[in-house]
């Protein structure tokens, strides 16, 4: 199955008073690179989340953002009283009142405004209990992410298959044209030898050897057959359930090599134009393969 490396997935999951939101974005990359942006309270399970993602993604740069929303607050926090500091403020206020004969009492509102009496700290959760909804949300986000990768992959596959058919058509034209090219070149060689020899007798057996050697050097049958074999392998890989990108890269390199050899062997304008067209299609396929996992 063809999957694109560029995709987006999102999931929301409510657990008690918390709303979990997970967003996944991916870009092309030769290797697998998973990056998670997590709230501090769940950074301890980062490796477990990476393993979950890694089981679904084999190539590409993946950016994942996990957010925890506790409702009206911007982030899940709670306030705690600094008891010892509050006691010190109250004690000192009482001593000042007695020592200097001051009236009034220290009000709770005033005490709360004094520095460091109230401590803001992250809301504490049972991480083991929180792992269940986080993993459920991550799985849901990955499912959404995979759906987009598969949809993009289907479009890429359709384009590649169309270009593979085009290359096969060009290769068939080269195969049909090749014998004519070889025969015409052999005839020209015979004429040139005869013209250069003039009245000197020509060793027909030796000339036949030279013509056969020349014809063999121009024969592109082997290269055309290999191009057809690579095309068949390429199509077969598109149905594979494994990661395809690197294998397809290799086959493209092999096909380019064979097409270049055809171009260098056949000194014919039609074959040369077909070679140019095949190389153009292979380059377009190569660009598409860069997007495949």
pTM of the model: 0.69
Domain 7-73+126-150 fold is: Ribosomal Protein S5; domain 2 (3.30.230)
Residues forming beta bridges with residue 21, ordered by sequence position: 12, 67
Q: What is the pLDDT along the chain (293 residues), one digit of tens a residue?
A: 899 999 999 999 988 878 899 999 999 998 999 999 998 888 999 999 999 999 999 999 999 999 988 654 455 566 788 888 888 888 888 888 888 777 767 788 888 888 888 887 766 667 788 899 999 999 999 999 999 999 999 999 999 999 999 999 999 999 888 777 766 666 666 666 666 656 666 556 665 665 556 666 667 888 999 999 999 999 999 988 777 888 899 999 999 999 999 988 877 888 889 999 999 999 999 999 999 98
Q: What is d(CA 170, CA 175) in angstroms, rounded to the nearest whole number? A: 9
Q: What is d(CA 160, CA 168) in angstroms, rounded to the nearest whole number? A: 12
Domain 153-289 fold is: 1.20.120
Q: What is d(CA 22, CA 37) in angstroms, rounded to the nearest whole number? A: 10
Structure tokens at 260: 């270049």
Q: What angle do CA 163, 164, 165 make, to 5 degrees?
A: 90
Please give the backbone phi and psi of residue 24, each rounded to the nearest 5 degrees, phi first.
-125, 130
Q: Domain residues of the chain, as ranges? A: 7-73+126-150, 77-122, 153-289
For 55, 58, 66, 126, 236, the CA distances from 48, given in Å and listed in that order, are: 11, 16, 14, 16, 35
């Amino acid at each position: 199955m063809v999957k694109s490396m560029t995709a987006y997935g999102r999931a929301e999951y409510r657990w008690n008073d918390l709303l979990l939101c997970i967003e996944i974005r991916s870009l092309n990359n030769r290797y697998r690179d998973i990056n998670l942006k997590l709230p501090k309270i769940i950074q301890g399970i980062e490796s477990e989340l990476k393993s979950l993602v890694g089981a679904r993604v084999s190539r590409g740069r993946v950016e994942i953002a996990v957010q925890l929303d506790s409702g009206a607050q911007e982030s899940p926090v709670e306030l705690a009283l600094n008891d010892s500091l509050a006691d010190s403020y109250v004690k000192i206020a009482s001593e000042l009142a007695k020592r200097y004969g001051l009236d009034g009492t220290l009000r709770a509102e005033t005490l709360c405004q004094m520095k460091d009496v109230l401590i803001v700290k992250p809301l504490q959760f049972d991480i083991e209990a929180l792992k269940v909804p986080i993993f459920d949300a991550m799985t849901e986000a990955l499912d959404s992410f995979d759906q987009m990768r598969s949809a993009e992959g289907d479009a890429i596959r359709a384009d590649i298959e169309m270009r593979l058919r085009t290359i096969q058509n060009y290769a068939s034209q080269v195969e049909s044209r090749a014998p004519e090219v070889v025969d015409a070149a052999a005839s020209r060689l015979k004429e040139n030898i005869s013209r250069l020899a003039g009245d000197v007798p020509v060793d027909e057996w030796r000339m036949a050897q030279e013509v056969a050697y020349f014809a063999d050097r121009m024969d592109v049958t082997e290269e055309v057959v290999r191009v057809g074999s690579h095309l068949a392998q390429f199509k077969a890989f598109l149905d594979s359930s494994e990661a395809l990108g690197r294998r397809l890269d290799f086959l493209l390199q092999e096909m380019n090599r064979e097409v270049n050899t055809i171009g260098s062997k056949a000194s014919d304008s039609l074959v040369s134009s077909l070679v140019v067209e095949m190389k153009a299609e292979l380059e377009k396929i190569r660009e598409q393969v860069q997007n495949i996992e």
